[in-house]
């Protein structure tokens, strides 16, 4: 299994990730390149996420505005060097800027404290939707046991070293970053312990080019079931259609086009940009809990 096989760049020992994993093993490979790791598929990742964020906000903004926590928390799981976080921050800042410019709003313009990303010129890019004041403060939590140094170096944000196994056991990063603040505001949340996941409400977890590395079905089930107890959306980015997320694991595959559950297997409603596959799943456990609470108020 690999995170991709494009041409080598910083932090990639060989152009073939299969060769890297075969020679060093997954864990040893990322120990060697963790501090300088870069995902060569970033243009496709960014394009997929811009399309997903646009559609998600278009369809879910009314539901989000009714939530009591008044924040959007994105969990960048197995975060690499921050491709997901950078895409989310860029999408949010561009959306706010579009709103200010199009509406004549007196909101304070967004000043980007991060270095500008190199323009992606391969294809016309997806334009972020306008994000008005109803968009809650966007916060990011990140974790990676191997590349936290690369993440911090590229994003200037904090990163936990939690592994898939620890997350499956109920642990969650105890620090998150508010990307709406300039400079970035970092807040601590109470130290976590096993089983606290269900007490949180995370809007989405995004796993880019890493979930297929959990090859043991039992371990993958444990991870995904735990996440399904407190995360509304699961977004999986990969160079292929692995891993298979089965029915009964706490998630329903979601058709991004029709905005409804769809059949597994199948590619309906998936995104494909620059050979990057993006599949979306909706938590059955969080949805059922929200419906239960709604019934209690009626």
Can you tell me the distance from the alpha carbon of 75 to that of 99, in angstroms, rounded to the nearest whole number? 25
Q: What is the CATH number of the domain that holds 80?
A: 3.40.50.150
Q: What is residue 211's DSSP assignment?
A: G
Instruction: Give CA angle at 224 (219, 228), nearest 5°.
Output: 150
| pLDDT reported for residue 185 | 64
Assigned domain for 35 exists: no
pLDDT digits (tens, 9 = 90+) for 84-140: 999 999 999 999 999 999 887 555 555 454 544 444 445 557 899 999 999 999 999
Assigned domain for 32 exists: no
Q: If you search the block for the tokens 């969990």, which residue do you land on?
A: 75
Assigned domain for 29 exists: no
Assigned domain for 47 exists: yes
Which residue range is the domain that position 76 belongs to?
40-297
Beta strand 138-143 pairing with 202-208: unpaired
In the three-class reduction of DSSP (H, G, I as helix; E, B as strand; rest coil), residue 148 is classed as helix
Can you tell me the distance from the alpha carbon of 64 to that of 297, in angstroms, rounded to the nearest whole number? 18
Task: List, in order, residues 6 or more apart from 141 with CB less than 8 Å away.
Answer: 73, 74, 75, 76, 160, 172, 173, 175, 176, 177, 202
Report pTM. 0.82
Assigned domain for 4 exists: no
pLDDT digits (tens, 9 = 90+) for 275-294: 999 999 999 999 766 555 54
In the three-class reduction of DSSP (H, G, I as helix; E, B as strand; rest coil), residue 281 is classed as strand
Assigned domain for 118 exists: yes
Q: How many domains does the chain have?
A: 1
């Amino acid at each position: 299994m690999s995170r991709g096989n494009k041409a080598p760049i910083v932090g990639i020992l060989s152009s073939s990730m299969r060769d890297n994993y075969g020679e060093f093993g997954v864990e040893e490979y990322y120990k060697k390149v963790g501090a300088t790791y870069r995902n060569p598929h970033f243009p496709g990742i960014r394009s997929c996420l811009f399309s997903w964020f646009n559609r998600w906000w278009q369809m879910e903004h009314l539901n989000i505005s009714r939530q009591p926590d008044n924040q959007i928390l994105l969990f960048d799981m197995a975060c690499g060097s921050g491709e997901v976080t950078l895409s989310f921050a860029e999408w949010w800042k561009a959306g706010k800027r579009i709103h200010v410019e199009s509406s004549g709003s007196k909101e304070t313009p967004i000043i980007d404290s991060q270095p500008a990303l190199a323009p992606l010129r391969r294809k016309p890019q997806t334009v972020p939707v306008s994000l008005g004041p109803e968009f809650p403060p966007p916060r990011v939590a990140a974790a990676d046991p191997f590349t936290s140094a690369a993440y911090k170096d590229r994003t200037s944000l904090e990163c936990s070293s939690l592994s898939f196994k620890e997350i499956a056991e109920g642990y969650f990063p105890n620090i998150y970053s508010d990307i709406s603040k300039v400079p970035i505001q970092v807040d601590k949340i109470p130290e976590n312990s096993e089983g606290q996941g269900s007490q949180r409400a995370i809007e989405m977890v995004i796993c880019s080019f890493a979930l297929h590395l959990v090859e043991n079905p039992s371990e993958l089930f444990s991870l995904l079931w735990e996440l399904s107890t407190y995360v509304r959306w699961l977004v999986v980015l990969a160079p292929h259609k692995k891993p298979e997320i089965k029915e009964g694991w706490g998630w329903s595959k979601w058709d991004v086009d029709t905005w409804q559950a769809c059949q597994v297997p199948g590619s309906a409603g998936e995104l494909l940009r620059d050979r990057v596959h993006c599949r979306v799943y909706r938590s059955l456990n969080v949805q059922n809990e929200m419906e239960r609470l709604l019934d209690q108020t009626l």
